[in-house]
Amino acid sequence: MLLKNDLLIRAAKGEKVERTPVWLMRQAGRILPEYRAVRESVSGFIELAQTPELAAEVTIQPVDILDVDAAIIFSDILVIPEAMGLPYEMQEKRGPWFPETVKDVSDLKKLRIADGVDDLSYVIEAIKITKKALNGRVPLIGFAGAPWTIFAYMVEGSGSKTFSKSRAMLYTQPEFSHQLLQMITDSTINYLKAQVAAGANLIQIFDSWAGILPPNHYLEFSLPYISQICDAIQNVPTTVFAKGAFFARKEMAGLNCDTIGLDWNMGIAESRDIIGPNKTLQGNLDPAALYGSAKEVEAATRLMMDQFKGTRHIANLGHGVYPDIDPEMVKVFIETVKNYS
């Protein structure tokens, strides 16, 4: 299917674009009253994510309401551990929680490598429904969590301020850690290949907990597994977003991906200097800037755009949009990017 708006794909590949494409991480979510209405019609987040027709509906909402240049499939990074045999719950105000965790090599026997199609059929079906409904209006982004981030949840059992259990595991059981990371990586490659086969036009890898590792551990326990994924997904553009991994930007430049996502703490000029001219950079407005007035949001957005001007760029925030941000200010951000010259 030909895309009517292929700005995102061309920008990711470094091709000429008429203007900078723009979308937002977590755009299909709690900032939109329309999303909350759909969410309230079911038991909670997991049922919504596992109901393909509803997942497709909330995926498309930001395209209709915010006029972004891409849709990103509504799902969760933690579908991978569940598909591997480690189910999770989404608890209100607490976030994800795993009743069982992975503690040592013996626990690996309880896990399997997910095949990506049958194990995650609800996501694949949601992608197919979304693609049909979008009818080529904009590209559809598929995604997965980076293996280290998934590992952290599987060992810890929930979100954490320190992730001390999972970080300790890298010191005390490095061989086991590599075994589990490889299983996650193999599962993720299968999953992303299935997303692409179903119609995803671009893939993003989210390493949400990259920044909690020391540089030597990041280079041993995270980046090589991301590299495997990038090498395996070569028929659509790939973006790597590693929050807090400012120390690994030089190494990330060597990944077989098209785009590097910057968080809002990463200096734009410095990042371009470190990463070089051959990658597209994505980001990186501080999400908190969207709490300002329309005039303030416009000024902050223009300042960001000025710093990226003349280089390969996809406009986005430096992290997911916060749930209590006014959708009207999100629209100001998007319109400012579109009108920038």
Residues carrying an active site annotation: 26, 30, 39, 76, 153
Contact 330, 24 (CB under 8 A): yes
Both tokens of 96, joined, read 């994800």
Phi and psi torsions of 31, nearest 5° = -70, -20
Residues 6+ apart with CB under 8 A from 29: 35, 58, 74, 320, 321, 323
Residues 6+ apart with CB under 8 A from 41: 54
The two beta strands, 259-261 and 238-242, are: parallel
- Tell which residue, 283, 267, 272, 279, has the closest CA to residue 319: 283
How far from 173 is each of 23, 29, 154, 205, CA to CA, in Å?
40, 37, 15, 25
Phi and psi torsions of 208, nearest 5° = -65, -30
Q: Residue 167 burial by CB count (10 A; 0-12/13-18/19+): exposed, middle or buried?
A: buried
